[in-house]
Structure formats: C-alpha cells, structure tokens
Amino acid sequence: MQTPDAGTSISLDPIRLEVYRCLLLAIAEEMGAALRRSAYSPNIKERRDYSCAISDPQANPVALGDHMPVHLGAIPQSVEAAITAQSLVDGDVVVLNDPFCGGTHLPDLTAVRGVWVEGSREPIAYVASRAHHADVGGLAPGSMPLSREIFQEGLRVPPVLLVRRGDIQLDIWRLLIANVRTPEEREGDLHAQLAALDVGVRRLTELARRRGAEALRAAFGALSSYADRLVRAVIERIPQGEYRAEDYMDDDGTGSGPVRIAVAVTVRGQEMRVDFTGSAPQCTGNINAVTAITESAVRYVLRCVAEAILGTSLPAGGGAMPAVTIVTQPGTVVNARPPAAVAAGNVETSQRIVDVVFRALGRALPDLIPACSSGTMNNFTVGGVDPRSGEPFAYYETVAGGMGAGPQRRGLSGIHTHMTNSLNTPIEALEHEIPVRVRHYSLRRGSGGTGLHCGGDGLRRDMELLVPAHVCILSDRRQHSPCGAVDGAPGAVGENWLRRAGTWRQLDGKVTIEAQAGDVISIRTPGGGGWGSAES
C-alpha cells in the first residue's frame, strides 16, 4: 500500500513510513535525553517531568517522546499559540506558559523553535520542549499554592521571543529570572530546554538534507493520515451507542465539593463524540482544567484503547484526530476561563478526566478496560531557606500510588499512572537537594482493591523538615475511592498526616502548612481498584 501526502507527489510504502515514524520518534527522545542530562533541578533530571515534540508546519504533532501523557494535547496548542503570536525566522525561540494561550499550568514552560532548511522560505517543522519548573514565582514556593485566581500562581508568560536569530533577549530573560525564588536553577533548566531544541533542529536538518525536505513533508502528511486511519479502526471496533460516566473530585481546596466531572461518549461508525456537558462550573479553587488538559486526557485514553483493541499504539503525536470531537462548555471545570486558578487542574483534574472516559468506555468494552488507578499525583511542594547555602530553595515532587487492575493482570504498586509518567525521586537526591530527611518510605500494604485481579498498593512517604518551611499538598482521592471494574473492589483512599511534637493529626487533601523544624509530613497514597469479582 502506498501512502501519498496530499501536498506532495511522493508516496511512502508502509516500511518507509515506519522508518520515518521511528526516526522522528528517536529525534524527540534524543531531545528529551539532552534536556534531562543538562537540567539542574531534580524535578527534571530525576523525576523526568518534561516532554519534547516535533510538529508539522501546521502545528499538528508528528512525534512526541514517551514522556508526560498530560502534554499529549497541550504541546500542539502551545506550538499553535507560538506561531500565531510571533512571526518566526531562523534561530527564533518563543517561550510561553499561559494556560489560556496554549499552556496548562504556570510551572510548565514551553519553548518552541522553527526548523528551516537551505532554500526554504517557511519552516519545514517545529520543535518544542516543555518542562515543569519547580518555581515560577507566585504566592508560595513551588508555585502550586491553594490559589483562587491565576495571578496568585506565578509569572504568566504569553508567547514571547526569548531568542531572536540565535541571540538570547536579555531583557526577557532577566524578567523571567527576576520573578522566581531559585534563579540559578531556573536558568539552568531554561538553558537545558534551549539545548533540547538545538538537538531537534540539528537532527531534523540532517534528516531533510539526507532524504529531502519534500520527502519529510510527505512523511508528516502520511503519518497524520495513518494515525487517523488507526483511530477510525479503533472506534469502528467499539460497539455503537452512547456511554455515560461520572466521578468526583473531593473538593476544590477552598471547602467546596465534591466537584462533578461527567462525560457521554457517543460512538457512530468510525467517529466518536466525547461530551463533557454536565460537568461542574469552574471552581473558586485551583482544580480547574483548560481545554488542552481535557484534550490530552482523551488522546491518552484513545492510545490505551488502541493498544488493547489493535495490539498496536497510535503514532506518538497522533495527528489532529479528525474522527474525534471533544465537547466542553466554557466556564466549566474542564474548560476554565480566566482568571480561574488552574495549578491543580493539570495534575489532579486531568487524572479524573481519564477515569471518567475509561469508565464510560468500560460500559462498551468491559473485558478490555482496567479499573481506576490512584487518580491523583499527590503533589508536594516545599520551600524556605537552606541553611547550608543561605539561599532560598523551592522543591516540587509527586508521590506515586497504586495502578488499577486489568482483565489480564493485577495492578502495579507504587507507580505513577495515566497522565504522569514521572519517576519516584530517589531519597538520596531529595536529601541532597533540600533540607529534609526521609523517615519512612514503603508500600502501603492492602491499599489496592481486591478482585479477581487486585489493584496495586499505594505508597507511604514520611519527610521530616529540618528547617522551618512553607509546605503545600495538592492531592485527591482522600474521600472518593478509586473505583474497581467488573465487580472489583475500590482501592483505599489516600491520607495526609502531620506529626508535630510527637503528636499525629490528619490533614485535608489540599492544605498549606507553615511547618516547623522537626515536623514530619506523611503522604499515604491511594491504591488502585480491583478488576473482577474476588469470589470468581
């Protein structure tokens, strides 16, 4: 079978198409490796909270490294926002983090650069690197506060030129660095993002020179067409009908809750409509999600379903997905409007969107869809002054939980799932970077739901603060359990605890603490749901 691109006369057979797919994915992965190895912060070099991608000239994704699934739908919107706001020339780099203009939440800073080849008047592609910066200013160290509006969350950056024709614009650079608590670390991570773009530009230029720019354009178009055909093939194998589900966030961090997220998935032939009408209005607190997050969650679920139905993954990036229509109502928790607070929408609400879409599809495909995983990233931020250096520190991490069981397997324990693909921060790295001591780190035995296949267990992580510090925890599934599937039992809810002066007291799921030296923060994460009846 030959796969022609509508904009070129070049056709690619399946073998050549697969070669291009792997080449482009390898470039995106190499960009990520350069970013990770050059970064300063443990959040990037240890947890790997970053993504790198390649887009075609129309900003459609053609390759996204296997990094953070929550960026699946977000990076394309960032690229589109960047090229719409700025007229780029060779050597220009646009940066942005505005959730209402292509971003997700303020700590995720995206850098975008065009790729030119000799003789081209327009870019043949765009490369992008996105990384979670451990501090971008705002109300609290770590820039993940219990905010009520986006202005409390940090420096909001619309698409601006950070690099012009290869030269860093020092006025923009100084503005960014002047608004953060940890300037040296931020500068190091920013330089790492720029280095990742250098790698992408160099590799794509080499590829275009070796195989021809026209062939590269043909590959972009063919990969998008191939992804569309795969998506339609997946949808065609789902029984036709409308499938509904709902679930809840515990609260919005201001005392209001529970917060409903509802979906109706309609399958007709080779097309799917994913309608979130009926979800709660946007909240006072910071669990609001922008459309980029909602799209990322839907894309992720479809990639998982494709793997289950076809035994193959959608191409990384996945193209524009014309077969899938996503409906959200402006001003709701899944399509927030400014000046809504959104810090936790990216990390918490995204997980619940995945849960409800999976549960809806589980009504159509009960023998393929897994139980709910822990459903929260258990975000922990801490900041203060490090007595070893006399300088401010700001640290962010997420704590893993239990994976939901599936029809063929039990859930894994102590693992990040769904919208986060990050790693557990090693204790040695954590204690080296900031003044804390890890007092307890173990699996939370028995927290996974029972069933024919049991859900994975969550974790317990106790951290002693060695200095006074500002602590913020953004977590969920402290009231609403991760659901089981096909009569499997739910996973245990998570818990947060504080030990002060020898006395333990339980904390809310979303809480800010002015911690004293010697305080111990204990985060105990949810287990995954079980799959199938335990009696069977």
CA gap 492, 478 in Å, rounded: 9
| Summary count for the chain: helices (H), strands (E) | 9, 22
The DSSP line for 476-493 is --SSSPPP-BTTPPPPPP
Question: Which of 223-237, 424-438, 474-488 is the most confident on average?
Answer: 474-488
The answer to whether residues 507 and 473 touch, using CB atoms and an 8 Å cutoff, is yes
Structural domain boundaries in the chain: 3-228, 370-536
Q: Which residues contact 12 (CB under 8 A, 6 or more apart)?
A: 2, 3, 4, 5, 20, 218, 219, 222
Q: Which residues contact 509 (CB under 8 A, 6 or more apart)?
A: 250, 251, 473, 475, 476, 477, 478, 479, 494, 496
Q: Which residues contact 208 (CB under 8 A, 6 or more apart)?
A: 115, 117, 124, 216
Q: Which of 474, 470, 471 is nearest to 510 (CA)?
A: 474
Cα atoms in the 13 Å half-sphere on the side-chain side of 339? 9
The answer to whether residues 483 and 466 touch, using CB atoms and an 8 Å cutoff, is no
**E strands, 133-238, where?**
160-164, 167-168
- pLDDT tens-digit profile of 280-319? 999 999 999 999 999 999 999 999 999 999 988 787 656 6
SS3 21: helix
- Strand 495-500 and strand 324-327: the pairing is unpaired
Question: Among 3-7, 45-49, 56-60, 381-385, where is mean pLDDT lowest?
Answer: 3-7
pTM: 0.95
Other Cβ atoms closer than 10 A to 78: 32
Indicate whether 197 pLDDT > 50: yes
The answer to whether residues 112 and 157 touch, using CB atoms and an 8 Å cutoff, is no
CA gap 71, 65 in Å, rounded: 10
CA gap 509, 494 in Å, rounded: 8
- pLDDT tens-digit profile of 38-83? 999 999 999 999 999 999 999 999 998 878 888 877 898 999 999 9
The pLDDT assigned to 8 comes to 52
Q: How far apart are the first and last CA of the chain?
A: 46
Q: Which residues contact 4 (CB under 8 A, 6 or more apart)?
A: 10, 11, 12, 218, 222
Residues in the chain: 536
The answer to whether residues 134 and 180 touch, using CB atoms and an 8 Å cutoff, is no
Indicate whether 265 pLDDT > 50: yes
The pLDDT assigned to 433 comes to 92
